[in-house]
Amino acid sequence: MVERILDAGRQVLAEYGYEGASTSRIATTAGISPGSLYQYFPHKDAIVSAVLERYSDTLVSSVTTRMSGHFEQPAPVIVRATLAALLEGLDVEPPLLRAAVEHGPRLDDGRALRAFEQRIGELVRAYLTTQRGGLRPDAPLDTAVWMLVRTVEHLTVRYLLDRPLIPREQFLEELTRLALNYLRPAP
> Per-residue confidence of the chain (187 residues) as pLDDT tens digits?
999 999 999 999 888 888 889 999 999 999 999 999 999 999 999 999 899 888 888 888 888 887 776 777 888 888 898 899 889 988 888 888 888 888 776 766 677 778 888 888 988 888 888 876 667 888 888 999 999 999 999 999 999 999 999 999 999 999 999 999 998 887 7
Instruction: Give me the pLDDT at residue 73, please.
Output: 81
Output the CA torsion 112→117→121→123 (10° steps): 60
Domains for the chain: give ranges and CATH numbers.
51-183 (1.10.357)
130 burial via Cβ count (<10 Å: 0-12, 13-18, 19+) = exposed
Instruction: Give me the pLDDT at residue 59, please.
Output: 84
Quote the CA–CA distance of 2 and 40 in Å, as a whole number: 7
Quote the CA–CA distance of 185 and 143 in Å, as a whole number: 15
Please give the model's pTM, rounded to 2 decimal places: 0.82
Q: Is the distance from CB of 74 to CB of 90 less than 8 angstroms?
A: no
DSSP state of 132: G
Instruction: Give me the pLDDT at residue 105, please.
Output: 66
Instruction: Give me the pLDDT at residue 68, please.
Output: 74
